[in-house]
Amino acid sequence: MMRLGTCGLCLQQKELQNSHLLPAALYRQFRNPSAGSNPNPIIVTRSRALTSSQQVSSPFLCADCELRLSVNGENYVVTQCAKQNGSFKLRQLLQTVSPLHEDRTTEIAIYDVQRLLGSRVEQYLYFAASVFWRASAHTWEIGGGQVGKISFGDKYQEQFRLYLLGKSSFPQNARVYIHVASETQIPLTVSTVPTTFRMGVAHRHKFCIPGILFILFLGSKVSKVGDSFAINGKKQQTMWLYPWQNDSHVRGILQRMQSATPTGKLRKGKD
């Protein structure tokens, strides 16, 4: 149901839509009607995983801003992640070219995607920014429990808002890394809510959709120390083909998925 209010992005008084923290298309994509009594996708929060028909959504954005987020990032990026049928367009595309750097010991390969993706690079950057910003700008809940809350602080939150509106460039003190899963078996959770970790003077935020992990480093020194292998690096734009099992965020997902419960309700309180 729509209601009148202040849109979180354009700040105008409009009818608010039932906005999602992560694209609604992901929920539809991983719902399996042939799965018998429980066709719902797996949803992973910070502390647990469950199969549920519920979605992390709330009245937050107007129709115009919803469309802006969809056209500038969501519509394309969601089509490139890992699918239930085994296809994974982004990984397949990366593997058509030789990596910029490769370490056979760690099984990490880094690809220059500026020529490979062209203008699509900006769509990945915009999509990542939109999800991280939404997690900071609004309080999201599912089943009565808060999920996905991170904090940019007022300065960075406004910088990201203006970028998403097309009124400024991407924040100077932010770098986004994208890790594409190299494993054949990928945890096909519908989504994970963003998590955050302080690293000295910087903050590291993470979330993933099937097969694609987005990492945001934010802080005054990030542009100097984190520039080389980011998708918005000044000298080169890169993505990583990376064993997901080596990432702490993904390991946590796998552990929680092992105990996923077929229910549509989360326990009360923060999750």
The pLDDT value given to residue 267: 39
What per-residue confidence (pLDDT) applies to 269? 37
The predicted structure's pLDDT at residue 41: 56
The two structure tokens encoding residue 79? 């089509």
Residue 256: its pLDDT value, please? 54
pLDDT-flagged residues of the chain (< 50):
263-271
pLDDT at 271: 42
Measured CA distances, 213 to 21, 139, 243, 253, 264 (Å): 16, 22, 11, 12, 26
pLDDT at 129: 98
Say what the pTM is.
0.85
Task: Give the pLDDT of residue 143.
Answer: 67
Sheet holding 101-103, edge to edge: 101-103, 108-112, 238-242, 174-181, 212-218, 202-209, 195-199
H/E segment holding residue 205: strand 202-209
pLDDT confidence of residue 199: 82
What CA–CA distance (Å, rounded) separates 52 from 142? 10
